Structure 1
């Protein structure tokens, strides 16, 4: 499970900082989360293959999370993309993108699908054989969702010593991984638990930006491996966090502590601060396992 931070600063892009965008990799799949200005430049800078991005998740329709999307969609066409592209985001995102494509007489060379969201309750919006994605309703100035990515790890691990002891043919291995028992030639039934180990724990990642301090999300992200939570302000500007419906580093750490997550990644810093080190210091007073996002940094979990 790998997280590459393409941009993690609030509001406006600057010479050395970019607005929100992340690339999340799990089970050999890539998911793009938010798409602020400069996202495709960051993708090139970090040598990420555009063709591997088939699903894009947009948290809300503020510019620092969206304005890079039309550029990326257009570039996909210039690169002769053929794979389908799925975009998940608040209702209105389809109208925004299609209006820009229509006005510029630009048409995609690939199928472009929009999955518009309106529910204020958590819902399953994506599922395949390896991963599920659910929304995390957030509390911001406009309709906003976070996203919970959870690995599906239903296959058991083969205990090769036991399998060899019973002289079981390799053709039964997939059945064993799927939890099936094996019937030997003499009719003996070998219980699956004798032939396998429990699967690895399912990894999970919760992306939460932007939101005011919102304890209501805690049950949805309980015990996740990694929580990315916005921390736009330090505690000295808590009054601004409340007014703009953002969070402080201490509030993000409080959510992480209450949800009993393993790791907290902070981001979405206001550009008013000369250094982001103080965000980690404030958060660690509440929650010990704090990581600072920064443009271009990758985390392997």
Structure 2
């Protein structure tokens, strides 16, 4: 699992900072999370192939989280994309994008599928054989979701020496990896745990931006390996955070502590501060395992 931060600053883009967008690589899937202005430029800078992105998740319809989407779709068309593109986001995202495509007469030459979200409860919105994605209902000025990405439990690993010892034929290997016991020709039952090793523990990643401090998300993200949580303000602007329905660094750390996550990544910083190191310093007083997102930074999770 690898996370690449394409942008992690609040509000407007600047010459040296970008609004929210990140790419999560998990089980050879490439998920784009939010698509602020300039996302496609950041993808190029980070040498990420556009063709690998088949799913895009939009948290909410504030510009700094999706204004780059129409440009990215247009570039996909110019690059003669063939793969279908699946977009998950709040109700209204389809209308916004299709209006721009219609008025500019720029219909894509690939399938464009929208999955509009309205539920205020956590729901499963994407699933394949290796990964599933659920929403994390957040509290912001408009309807907003975070996203919980979870690996599925992998098949068991074959113990090659044990299989050779019991002289088990190759045609049974898949059944063994699926967890089944094996009956030898003489009727002896060989238990699966003698033939396999446990798979690696599934990893999980929770993306939470933008939101006011909200303990209701704690049961949903409890125990995740990595939590990205917005920290727009420092504690000195606590009242402003509440007014604008954002979170302070200390509040984000409190959520991480209550949810017993393994690691916290802070982001969505207000550009009023001279250095983002202040966010880590405050959060670390509550939750020790804190990392700072920054544009172009990658995390091997």
Q: TM-score with structure 2 length normalisation?
A: 0.99
Distance 1:190 1:175 in 2: 13
Q: How does 1:111-190 map to 2 (within 5 A)?
A: 111-190=111-190
Matched, 1:69 2:91: no
Measured against aligned partners, the alpha-carbon deviations of 1:142-178 in whole angstroms (never above 9, x if no partner) come to: 0000000000123111222221211112222111111
User: Does the CA-based 8 Å contact 1:89-1:116 persist in structure 2?
Assistant: yes
Q: Which runs of 5+ in 1 are unaligned?
A: none
Aligned 8 A contact 1:5 1:22 in 2 = yes
Q: Please name the residue that 1:193 is paired with.
A: 193
> Could you tell me whether the CA contact under 8 Å between 1:59 and 1:65 is conserved in 2?
yes
Where 1:279 maps in the other structure, the secondary structure is helix
4+ runs deviating over 2 angstroms: none
Aligned to 1:26: 26
Deviations 1:107-126 (A, max 9, x none): 10100000000000000000
For 1:200-239, what aligned pairs fall within 5 Å after superposition? 200-239=200-239
Q: How many residues align?
A: 301
RMSD: 0.7
Q: Which runs of 5 or more structure 2 residues have no equivalent in the other structure?
A: none
Q: 1:241-252 residue pairs with structure 2 within 5 A?
A: 241-252=241-252
Q: Which moved more, 1:177-186 or 1:42-51?
A: 177-186
CA–CA distance in 1 between the matches of 2:69 and 2:299?
Answer: 24
CA contact (8 A) 1:154 1:178 kept: no
Counterpart of 2:282 in 1: which secondary structure? helix
The 5-angstrom pairing of residues 46-125 of structure 1 reads: 46-125=46-125
- Looking at structure 1, the residues matched to 152 and 20 of structure 2 have their Cα atoms a distance apart, in angstroms, of 27
Match of 1:275 in 2: 275
Structure 1 residue 225, shift from structure 2 partner: 0.2
Aligned to 2:261: 261
Q: Is the 8 A contact 1:209 1:230 kept in 2?
A: yes
| Displacement after TM superposition at 1:9 (Å) | 0.1
Residue 140 of structure 1: how far off its partner (Å): 0.3
Q: Could you say what secondary structure the match of 1:257 adopts?
A: helix
Determine the C-alpha separation between the residues in 1 that align with 2:65 and 2:127: 24
Is the contact between residue 34 and residue 59 of structure 1 (CA under 8 Å) also seen in structure 2? yes
Residue in structure 2 matched with residue 42 of structure 1 by the alignment = 42
Q: CA shift at 1:187, angstroms?
A: 2.2
**Aligned counterparts of 1:126 and 1:288: Cα–Cα separation in 2:** 32
- Aligned-partner Cα distance in 2 for 1:205–1:174: 29
**1:252 deviation in Å?**
0.3
The two structures have a TM-score, normalised by structure 1, of 0.99
